[in-house]
Amino acid sequence: MSGALILAALWVLAATVTAFLPMRRQVVPGLALLVAAPVLIGWIGHDFGVWAALAAGAGFVSMFRNPLRWLMRKALGRGGGGDTDGDSGDGDGGGAAR
């Protein structure tokens, strides 16, 4: 097995362990994983081609969808605080404030 695939498997395991941490302890390892992912995806693309890189990129976006949404909102100047699931945060899950 290539080094890129071994590191990709370790990255997935690290991301899974990070997801089990309390939210306040996810920031540092999550940022490290977020920064490492494009390098790893590029390496996979170099070794295995564009389709493998696209599959790895889709997996990355799937796993980091909420942090990526937050970063996009922050970059576009649309806020960035609060929840990322689209509801109003009132606990009823309905999406509309009362």
Question: Is residue 98 scored above 50 in pLDDT?
Answer: no
What span, in angstroms and rounded, lies between the C-alpha atoms of 43 and 36? 11
Q: Strand, coil or helix: what is 74?
A: helix
> In 3D, which of 11, 5, 1, 3 has the Cα closest to residue 53?
5
Question: Is residue 93 scored above 60 in pLDDT?
Answer: no
Confidence band (pLDDT; 50, 70, 90) for 94? Answer: low
Distances, alpha carbon 35 to alpha carbons 29, 61, 71, in Å: 10, 13, 13
The answer to whether 48 and 1 have CB atoms below 8 angstroms apart is no
- Cα atoms in the 13 Å half-sphere on the side-chain side of 41: 17
Rounded mean pLDDT of 19-46? 93
pLDDT digits (tens, 9 = 90+) for 33-73: 999 999 999 999 999 999 999 999 999 998 888 888 888 89
pLDDT digits (tens, 9 = 90+) for 72-87: 898 888 765 555 555 5
Q: What is the pLDDT, as a whole number, of residue 6?
A: 94
pTM higher than the cut 0.75: no
The CA R_g of the chain, rounded to the nearest whole Å, is 16
